[in-house]
Chains A and B, each alone.
Chain A
């Protein structure tokens, strides 16, 4: 049946030779290679649940009176967008599970994208010839964050409305063009009429961009073949692992289903973004302890840690939020985009690499990566400085000052500690890259003596099982 189908396609499209190569394509096995797959599969769940939600959501800011089945808000005036989100949560069968799965999948999508990026960074997988895919991956990460933000702003609830108000102010803070940017994006002075625009961005523009970039990302992996860790029989000119069909396909399909299963479990059992508790957006109201979704937390934290400085000269202002809200992420992402070329230039290494580094083998890169991660972590924590202050029973002011200090001390300490640990580990001995090669075998000679056979693991090419031990 399948055979007949492939022949049918081949006679019309000449697909058989591509199919042969694809089915036999070898994928190296390592747990860390599955993180990117989890990102891909959360995106699939996002698409499926998201399409379902579009049938019920109304991106409309007309004021209506709620008459649905959530008792506490009956008779309350709200936008049609907020009302339709309540309806999908309370009055559409299976709607709440879909909505919560969608939200959880968005959180996992950005989280797994970030973890995947860290894996690529610390193992040097961005090096030649994979610079293009590093850039595409970062663009995907920006798209994921952007679509998360536009998505959670759609219900027009009090929490997300506060986020939009802050986003408007950050846009306004851009020198020279700020007000124009804010007015063109929001359609005028705040609050403008931004929900319908966010909707188009959220369900059309960014998903289309993600689909395009993702296709390119996967096509390039396909073309370049996957990287692999050093090990017995693994060289720069081969790929060792399991074939696409059936081994890898079976495993990957299982991973997809399990990712979806975890998201379904979270979607059904763990409440997320209960907008009916926040209430409809009111520009004159706000609640303490407002927290954005996790991937916006670092920007929120940067705004909170920034000292009260801004630049005023010649009757013009570069406002305070510009520095933490625009400049900082701009510099950070520029650095990330440029990293493959910066490192190649600094290390004078222009060669192509298909064997991955272990983080310890590159102490400087690893130290830089950990330092940058600590910087990120501190501003991320600062996004919840009020919650932390409450938890640890200190004043918000003290917590803010502590985090301001940690922002400078933390990364430096992390850099040196990581550097020293990596160097120590690297110099501690021969890397254990050939774990299945048995050495130091005792052999009895015909004249009754014993000799020990010593072998250099790196020189043993093919050895499926240890030579002694469990033989019968």
Chain B
């Protein structure tokens, strides 16, 4: 092989590489025009994404090929000098600090006052954070339920004791509830044959579940999700978030999953017109536990 031929080969390779890179940039230009056309014609998400991917991908491929085929690949070695500064710089810093120490001799009174000033300023600056929210107070121990409030469905219809078939369940809210009340007052009402319910647990709950109607807070005591799944055969209430399972037939005791507390039970009765009514609010805080709860 002679030198001319080597040079010819190299030129040919270079021209072919140039054509490939150029083709990539050409694809970019065409796809970009296509993208603009699709947009003008009203847009189409799949085509937009596809064309944008082609635009960017071809451009990127062009650059990578350019680097791979048309640039030399020599390994370059660069020195890595130590990061730490030399002796002169170290001493310079020491001297500057010494000089400052002479100018600012230890004044312990001033230092103490400055610390007090900075501390007070920092404390005062924290106060506006308090405006971000109200004090928790007792609000977590209350819901919108109150004595005499009827149980209503999401659309506001009051629930009669005859509405719910045996083994049926619905979500109920206190009469006159607002959108905001739904978060802590949502309650699940279950109708089971009275003999299936084990309610005489010595806590005076015998009259909380008239004619087999038992009402539990729907807010999971673990992390607050709605306990939305009721398995009729087993009488289990299941929270779909973390699979806490409660035995609805036995005071909604937790029987599986991370929940540690029962779902609070809402005491209810049937009024003269046959509507289900709350005897009172829940007798304990609903939802997940917190520090102030026993």
Contact = CB atoms under 8 A, between A and B. Distances in A.
A100 B52 CA distance: 13
Contacts of B54: 261
B225 A162 contact: yes
Given A284-B154, A309-B260, A180 B228 contact: no
Given A180-B136, A186-B133, A243-B76, A250 B60 contact: no
B243 A396 contact: yes
A250 B259 contact: no
B258 interface: yes
B240 A269 contact: no
A283 B182 contact: yes
Contact of A257 (B57, B132, B180, B229): B57
B139 interface: yes
Interface residues of B, number: 79
Interface in B190-245: 218, 222-226, 228-229, 240-244
A324 B259 CA distance: 13
A217 interface: no
Nearest to A191: B183
A166 B259 contact: no
Contacts of A347: none
Contacts of A258: 56-57, 60-61, 64
Given A265-B53, A317-B289, A472-B1, A253 B240 contact: no
Nearest to B220: A169
Interface string A234-273: 0011111111001100110111111011101111110000
A331 B53 CA distance: 41
B290 interface: yes
Given A168-B224, A267-B49, A268-B49, A187 B132 contact: yes
A322 B130 CA distance: 23
B256 interface: yes
Nearest to A165: B224
Contacts of A247: 67, 71, 73
B43 interface: yes
Interface stretch (A105-113, A140-148, A286-294, A412-420): A286-294
Interface in A218-234: 223-225, 233
Interface string A341-354: 00000000000101
A317 B293 contact: yes
B115 interface: no
B184 interface: yes
Contacts of B275: none
B122 interface: no
B265 interface: no
- Size band of the interface chain A makes with B: 35 or more
B184 A189 contact: yes
A442 interface: no
B243 A385 contact: yes
B171 to A, nearest CB: 6
Nearest to A231: B75
Interface in A175-210: 175-180, 182-192
B99 interface: no
Nearest to B223: A169
Interface in A147-168: 162, 165-166, 168
For A97, A386, A396, A397, the residue with the greatest tally of chain B CB atoms inside 10 Å of its CB is: A97
Nearest to B139: A189
Contact of A162 (B52, B241, B257): B241
Interface string B277-294: 000000000011111111
A190 B64 contact: no
Contacts of B57: 257-258, 261-262, 265
A179 B290 contact: yes
A93 interface: yes
B23 interface: no
Most buried by A among B63, B218, B288: B288
A27 to B, nearest CB: 9
Contacts of A261: 52-57, 60
A330 interface: no
A170 interface: yes
A93 B43 contact: yes
Contacts of B78: 24-26, 225, 238-240
B92 interface: no
A173 interface: yes
B224 A190 contact: yes
Contacts of A180: 136
A448 interface: no
Contacts, number: 266
A320 interface: yes
Contact of B133 (A188, A253, A290, A385): A188
A457 interface: no
A287 B240 contact: yes
Which residue of B45, B66, B135 has the most chain A CB atoms within 10 A of its CB atom?
B45
A10 interface: no
Contact of A316 (B47, B241, B292): B292
Given A185-B132, A242-B75, A247-B67, A312 B294 contact: yes
A85 interface: no
Contacts of B66: 250
B134 interface: yes
A269 B46 contact: yes
A286 to B, nearest CB: 5
A96 interface: yes
B254 interface: yes
A461 to B, nearest CB: 11
B288 A129 contact: no
Given A93-B39, A269-B46, A315-B294, A183 B259 contact: no
B136 A286 contact: no
B144 to A, nearest CB: 11
B105 interface: no
A97 B52 contact: yes
A257 B133 contact: no
B124 interface: no
Contacts of A310: 260, 289
Nearest to B129: A184
Given A169-B223, A240-B76, A268-B50, 5 more contacts: A179-B292, A184-B133, A257-B60, A261-B54, A319-B260
23 contacts: A26-B77, A166-B224, A179-B136, A184-B129, A187-B133, A190-B183, A238-B80, A242-B73, A250-B63, A255-B60, A258-B64, A261-B52, A264-B52, A268-B45, A268-B46, A286-B240, A287-B240, A315-B294, A316-B292, A317-B290, A317-B292, A319-B260, A321-B222
Interface of A: 24-26, 63, 93-94, 96-97, 100-101, 129, 162, 165-166, 168-170, 172-180, 182-192, 223-225, 233, 236-243, 246-247, 250-251, 253-258, 260-262, 264-269, 282-290, 300, 303-304, 306-310, 312, 315-321, 324, 352, 354, 385-386, 396-397, 400, 472
